[in-house]
Amino acid sequence: MGSGLLFEFMVPEPAAFHIFAKARKSIKGVFVEKPIHPRIGITNPFGAGTITLSHAHELDMSNYKVWASAYGATVEPYPEDLVIGKAYNTNGGANTVSSSDNGLKIPEGYYANTAIVIIGREGSLLSSNSYIQVGNQWFGKGGWGSWIITQSMNQMTDVLPVSWNIYYENMLSFNVEVNCKATNSKISEWQLKTFKSIMDAYQRKLDEFNNAVSEAQVSQGVFIDGNNPLLNREIERTELRKWCIQLMTENEFFFQFDAMKHEKEQYPDYDNYPYFDNCEAIKEGHVVKFIESILDWHLMSYFLYPYFYGNRNRWVEIYNTSSNDPLHTSFLQAGFARVVVPVRLGFEKVAMQFVETGIINYETATWVANSDEAIDASIELEQNALAQDPPQPGAAGYAD
């Protein structure tokens, strides 16, 4: 190959996307998705990265709907706060009146957190007073007018007794509103029940997937994990190429490629009918040609490192991933890959400027795509043909 500029990349878990994609199967025209175990994690719908679920106590009001939706589980709502209340009124006149009530009951599994007493009163004398006791707290005011008083209820449960004493008042009416919170035992019970429902739903989806795969293998003779070794090499190079491009660019580099649309609004009679935007296709095409021109991707070489350099949380999954092709198994189980790609002759300066900034602007991409040094389409087609159909011994182009 001679001397030249080489780019070296270190790619973590190079087969990660391939394993993820292979978990999604299309069998007999029915889309069957292999569920991801909650401990491995699912995509966070509210932010970057993934979220995991290993224990029941990790479930709360903020995440249980996400997990239930991921596996189609039927779960009960999180035990949120409740408010209970009751209204009271009595006439006192010139006398002292005392009374009580045991009709305010705290729902099972809840405790009284706070109570609000709203008092409306009319006293006939300046010495008129009213005293209201709710549970173990006093709510009292003298004089005329209305009052609103809030007190902590010290986590009382079961029945919340209400009693009152009025002195020289013509009329007293009051409402008691109690804010109730779920007890720790009720929340733990809900977590265990919800966790079981989610795990049962995951198992049902896994059983559906495994049954579908088994049916396909029996009725169609499909070996799910088997590929031609040459095709496996192409898969490996394609995945490595993708991750190398990401390492050269911004993290969201691939999100710009959306010239091809799949929108039902444009073609309501079809489901996800494909069409592309001409202007976006031309602009994105320059970026693609830029990336493909600066490096000799067909001369890529790579070395695979063992699974224990990958994410430790995925060791078991990676270790148990295999293929009938031993070389492909090394790729599937790789924790890291070292990739070396030569820079195409004539593009050394452009390549170095690109990796320093990590950004491709439209003007640079257009210049590269139209430059004399850009890879000629005939050369690219020839390289692709050689990769797919190498010359046989004794034929022109064959090298010992």
Q: What is the pLDDT of residue 25?
A: 56
What tens digit of pLDDT does each residue of 354-399 get? 888 766 655 555 555 555 555 554 445 454 544 444 444 444 443 4
Q: What is the mean pLDDT of residues 255-279?
A: 72
Q: What is the pLDDT of residue 203?
A: 93
Q: What is the pLDDT of residue 363?
A: 57
For residue 163, the Cα-to-chain-centroid distance in whole angstroms is 52
For residue 67, the Cα-to-chain-centroid distance in whole angstroms is 9
Domain ranges in the chain are: 6-33+227-388, 35-71+185-224, 82-182
d(CA 71, CA 51): 14
| Fold of the 82-182 domain | Jelly Rolls (2.60.120)
| H helix intervals, 147-183 | none
What tens digit of pLDDT does each residue of 236-256 get? 999 999 998 888 887 777 777
Q: What is the pLDDT of residue 273?
A: 73
Q: What is the pLDDT of residue 176?
A: 93
- Angle in degrees, 0-180, between the axes of helices 64-71 and 184-220, rounded to the nearest 10: 20
d(CA 369, CA 289): 6
CB of 302 closer than 8 Å to CB of 8: no
- Which residues pair with residue 177 across a beta bridge? 85, 116
d(CA 84, CA 179): 7
Asked if the model's pLDDT at residue 29 lies above 90, the reply is no
Name the residue with tokens 């003007």: 363
Distances from the Cα of 64 to the Cα of 48, 193, 211, angstroms: 18, 12, 28
What tens digit of pLDDT does each residue of 115-152 get? 999 887 765 555 667 788 898 888 876 656 677 888 89
Global pTM reads: 0.48
Sheet with 336-342, edge to edge strand ranges: 6-12, 336-342, 301-305
| H helix intervals, 249-361 | 278-294, 315-319, 326-332, 348-357
Q: What is the pLDDT of residue 371?
A: 58
Q: What is the pLDDT of residue 270?
A: 60
* DSSP per position, 97-140: EEEEE---BPPTTEEEEEEEEEEEEEESSTT-EEEEEETTEEEE
**Nearest alpha-carbon partner for 6 in 302, 334, 330:** 302
